[in-house]
Amino acid sequence: MNTRHTEDEQIPTCPRCHSAEVTPILYGLPSGEGFAMAERGEVMLGGCVIDASSPKWACKSCGESFGQRLTHEMWEALRGARDS
Ligand SMILES: [Zn+2]
């Protein structure tokens, strides 16, 4: 079994308008390539700060952002696990 990651799996459709024009949101300071991808519409730039409400996906059709929102408790647990 090969579990390698593939680029085109698991990209959801928009829960609001059901468009397939959904891109991942890139967090952190983007590289030159990150900016180029954003200009091509391949990713959305989410800024340098990721927090508990940061969504994973953005819809290019309606602007909705969604997915993988952590609850505050989940986020604290993750941070606690990482710090200890
Ligand atoms: Zn949408």
25-77 pLDDT, tens digit each: 888 878 898 889 999 999 988 877 777 678 889 999 999 998 865 556 666 77
In a domain, 79, yes or no: yes
In a domain, 9, yes or no: no
Q: DSSP letters of 46-61? A: EES---TT--SEEETT
- Tell me how far the alpha carbon of residue 20 lies from the centroid of ligand 1, in angstroms: 8
In a domain, 4, yes or no: no
Residue 26, pLDDT score: 85
**Residues pairing with 25 in the sheet:** 44
Ion ligand 1, residues whose Cβ is below 5 A away: 14, 16-17, 19, 59, 61-62, 64
* Pairing between β-strand 57-59 and β-strand 22-27 as defined by DSSP bridges: antiparallel
Contacts of residue 10, defined as CB under 8 A and 6 or more positions apart, other chains included, come to: none
In a domain, 60, yes or no: yes
As for how many domains the chain has, the answer is: 1
In a domain, 34, yes or no: yes
In a domain, 13, yes or no: no
- Tell me how far the alpha carbon of residue 57 lies from the centroid of ligand 1, in angstroms: 10
In a domain, 2, yes or no: no
In a domain, 17, yes or no: no
Q: How confident is the model at residue 13 (pLDDT cuts 50, 70, 90)?
A: very high
pTM of the model: 0.63
Tell me: pLDDT of 6 over 60: no
Domain span at residue 27?
Answer: 22-83
